[in-house]
Amino acid sequence: MTSTPEITDSHCHLDFPDFAEELPQVIDRALEAGVTRMVTICTKLRLLPQVQTIAQTYDPVFFAAGTHPMSAAEEPMASVDELVKLAAHPKFVGIGETGLDYHYTAESADVQKESLRIHIEAARQTGLPLIIHARAADDDMARILSDEYDAGAYSCVMHCFSSSAELAQAALDLGFYLSMSGISAFPRSAELRDIFAAAPVSRILVETDAPYLAPPPHRGKRNEPAYTRHTAKVGAQLFDMEYSDFAAQTQTNFDRLFKKAAAWDGAN
């Protein structure tokens, strides 16, 4: 009997109402699918208590927190000290998500940039990876990430990457990682798949961004961590690898970037 290859859903939102009625079952299904770790993301710091509670309740779940760029103008501005203090929790493993989103919220670009720089500094000080959301802001994103890196190194993942080849290369040049979501499995995402295929496989993560962006064969339905495997199977095809080998590679990549999660031993 062959075992199911282990993979990690590096970005999901388990605190969202979509999961309120069956979170234990959602996590059980993930484990059955080989998704042995999940990083649930807090997008508004005032919601941190419920996100933290989920991570404390379920051993396979870790958490990260920040202010989503689309909420940057509506939420209180986070401080570096506030974010750094969160890192004291043993299951707090990343800073963000933060970033720039000019698709719907271009009017708050200046506030988003200020928030992004605060999160970058927190990532520097904690040594935890920065989790970036980027949409319709490629030039500003590449410039800020590069300028800030020149001011002091930090690690980073471009979560749910669906931007240009130029931004992908800018991120890779800085040593950052690209995360594949269900978008990369959509039939019309051939150009995006080419961007991932051109990247080093040692810099690829997989995620769901659940409850959003379910990959085929679940597209149009609520996404959940178990579906990470569908995106990972597409990744394996892109890199001409056996699924088990690609899964193992993404596990190595995740452990390299999310060192704190990799070191978790289940002790509270």
Which residues are annotated binding-site positions for a divalent metal cation?
11, 13, 97, 133, 159, 209
Which residues make beta-bridge pairs with 39? 62
Q: Which residues contact 241 (CB under 8 A, 6 or more apart)?
A: 201, 249
| Alpha carbons 142 and 237: distance in angstroms, whole number | 29
Between the CA of residue 154 and those of 67, 87, 239, what are the distances in Å? 18, 15, 27
Hunting for tokens 């979501």 — which residue is that? 181
Query: What are φ and ψ of residue 258, in 5° steps?
Result: -95, 70
Between the CA of residue 130 and those of 116, 161, 204, 242, 253, what are the distances in Å? 10, 14, 15, 30, 15
Q: How many beta carbons lie within 10 A of that of residue 85, not counting itself?
A: 13
Per this entry, what is the length of the chain?
268
Annotated binding site: 11, 13, 97, 133, 159, 209
Q: How far is CA 95 from the centre of its chain?
A: 10
* Helices (H) then strands (E): counts for the chain: 11, 8
